[in-house]
Structure 1
Amino acid sequence: MDILVERADEGVMTIAFNRPGKKNAITAAMYQTMADALAEAQEDTRVRAILFRGTEGVFSAGNDLEDFMKSPPKDENAPVLQFLRQISSAQKPIVAAVSGVAVGIGTTLLLHCDLVYAAESATFSLPFTQLGLCPEAASSLLLPNIAGYQLAAEKLLLGEAFDAQEAHRMGIVNRLLPAADVDAFAFAQAVKLAALPASSLRVSKSLMKRAHEQAIAERMKEEVVHFSQMLLAPEAREAMMAFFQKRKPDFRQFD
């Protein structure tokens, strides 16, 4: 299974990327599994907190580009959009444990988590412009709010990788830990949340997120329109072709 979903007696549902041979690159089927798991967690009173984690040395390399090009999101029922709606509207607390690389959606999904713990050696990147695309998952709204406009612009416009220390300074990550300790620490934090009154957590999270709740939903829809159009544009085709041919793309031919 490329996504492992486990329920612990302590009240924590763990959603784990389990495709290490592909650096946990996410397919449509994986998005569907995660969306379904989040929906089930919302209805299951035994689940009181949710934990996302990857495999040793890698969180997620983002979208599986080959799968994504074969099955691009065409309507609101696309698995990736179901997943984004579920994670952005989740009422229960979400914790993430990040080791290794977190690329694209591997980073933007963290913006919807409540607590994020990362390995000191973790790296992050948002290479949307390098692929001829635009931000997704409401990251064009959330990242400037979290990190400030200039830092967000540097990451979203240039698309260059940044280290865990900078992610921590930007406010994306709560705490940095030795790589060997990240998963256990994040799980322990999730267990702490699961032991607290569910109603208190639900109301507290709702109050903190309410100001941006509608804006996030609207921004996601706006991003999807642009993203879908850009996915079919010559710049994205050049970027994808260059990726598969393992060469540097040439965007100078486009205005």
Structure 2
Amino acid sequence: MGVTSYPGVKVTLNDGLRVIQLNNPKKKNALSLDVYESVTRALQEAAADPETHVTALTGSGDFYSSGNDLSSTTDGLMSGDGDEIMTKIKQAAQTLKRFVDAFIEFPKVLVAVVNGPAFGIAVTTLALCDVVYATPTATFNCPFVKLAFTPEGCSSHTFPKIMGHSLASEVLFFNRVLSAEEGLRCGLVSRVSADLDREIWPYLRKVAKDFNHIAMNLGKGMVRQWDKEDLLRINAAEVELLQQRWTSQDFFDSLIAFFAKKSKM
């Protein structure tokens, strides 16, 4: 079994199954800019590797991911003078775009095994995966409006398509938190399992080892090809809007309120 480590990410490959594991349980697998880059690189390597038949994303510990690491990201972005800050914001926006593009362009079957709560972009990118499994303790939370964010990860398109317009709007605009069972009922999740280690992971190992991966990936290409160019355009538009949000006064006010509330907990 091959094991590779990147900042915040551990990658294993065994009998055709490549597992990309978010690996910072002390921070609930939060996504810093370095972790965005790590996942992007891991996906690109999985796409290029002929020995990788199926790729699975998961988290370590009891969280899938707490989403964007606001403290480290904002500290990094907001240091320096005005020109430096604008340059860093543009670079962060491109990092985010590359990250989501890597999901959109991934040519092989991509599975998410959601081992606990998921927040923000860790939720929105689930809709770009081909299959999503979840433990009963998983929840799906997109607190964008609370933080003056707008939808990302192509969720402005994929969520209404999967969930229907009304539920998607409630999730994206009113911070409706979905349980694992609600995720199953609305189509975001394909199966809820109380024992991922005994049910889901053995099944994925069997699929990767025994199923015809060439036919599987050709089928994925056929299913996904109709949306690919649209999703790339949607991602670019969402990132452009987010970049505008990151320079707005109400965004800064929301961040200050968020960290003030967090410090009192």
**TM value normalised by structure 1:** 0.90
Q: Distance in 1 between matches of 2:89 and 2:54?
A: 29
> Which letter does structure 2 place at the counterpart of 1:6?
T
Counterpart of 1:216 in structure 2 is: 231
Counterpart of 1:193 in structure 2 is: 207
> Which letter does structure 1 place at the counterpart of 2:28?
K
Counterpart of 2:66 in structure 1 is: 61
Counterpart of 2:46 in structure 1 is: 41
TM-superposed deviation, 1:183: 4.5
- Across the aligned residues of Structure 1 and Structure 2, the Cα RMSD in angstroms comes to 1.9
Asked if structure 1 preserves the Cα contact closer than 8 Å seen for 2:16 and 2:52, the reply is yes
TM-superposed deviation, 1:75: 4.5
Q: Does residue 6 of the first structure (1) align with residue 12 of the second (2)?
A: yes
Counterpart of 1:145 in structure 2 is: 161
Residues 1-255 of structure 1 correspond to what in structure 2 (within 5 A)? 1-8=7-14, 10-69=15-74, 70-71=76-77, 73-75=89-91, 78-178=94-194, 181-194=195-208, 195-246=210-261
The sequence identity of aligned pairs, in percent, is 30
Q: Distance in 2 between matches of 1:78 and 1:189?
A: 36
Asked if structure 2 preserves the Cα contact closer than 8 Å seen for 1:98 and 1:117, the reply is yes
Distance change (3 Å), C-alpha of 1:243 and 1:223: same
Q: Distance in 2 between matches of 1:102 and 1:182?
A: 16
Stretches of structure 2 that go unaligned for 5 or more consecutive residues are 1-6, 78-87
- C-alpha deviations, 1:122-147, integer Å up to 9, x for none? 11111111111100011100011111
Counterpart of 2:83 in structure 1 is: none
Distance change (3 Å), C-alpha of 1:74 and 1:2: same
Q: Distance in 2 between matches of 1:233 and 1:189?
A: 47
TM-superposed deviation, 1:77: 8.0
Asked if structure 1 preserves the Cα contact closer than 8 Å seen for 2:18 and 2:54, the reply is yes
Asked if structure 1 preserves the Cα contact closer than 8 Å seen for 2:93 and 2:240, the reply is no
- C-alpha deviations, 1:195-229, integer Å up to 9, x for none? 32232112211111122111111100110111110
Asked if structure 1 preserves the Cα contact closer than 8 Å seen for 2:119 and 2:141, the reply is yes
Q: Distance in 2 between matches of 1:174 and 1:38?
A: 22
- C-alpha deviations, 1:48-90, integer Å up to 9, x for none? 1111111232000000012222246515983332221111111
Asked if structure 1 preserves the Cα contact closer than 8 Å seen for 2:135 and 2:180, the reply is yes
Q: Distance in 2 between matches of 1:162 and 1:44?
A: 35
- C-alpha deviations, 1:229-253, integer Å up to 9, x for none? 0111122111111111116xxxxxx
Stretches of structure 1 that go unaligned for 5 or more consecutive residues are 248-255
| Count of residue pairs the alignment pairs up | 245
Partner of 1:246: helix, strand, or coil? Answer: helix
> Which 10-residue stretch deviates more, 183-192 or 226-235?
183-192
Q: Distance in 2 between matches of 1:176 and 1:73?
A: 38
Distance change (3 Å), C-alpha of 1:184 and 1:243: farther
**TM value normalised by structure 2:** 0.87
Distance change (3 Å), C-alpha of 1:104 and 1:124: same
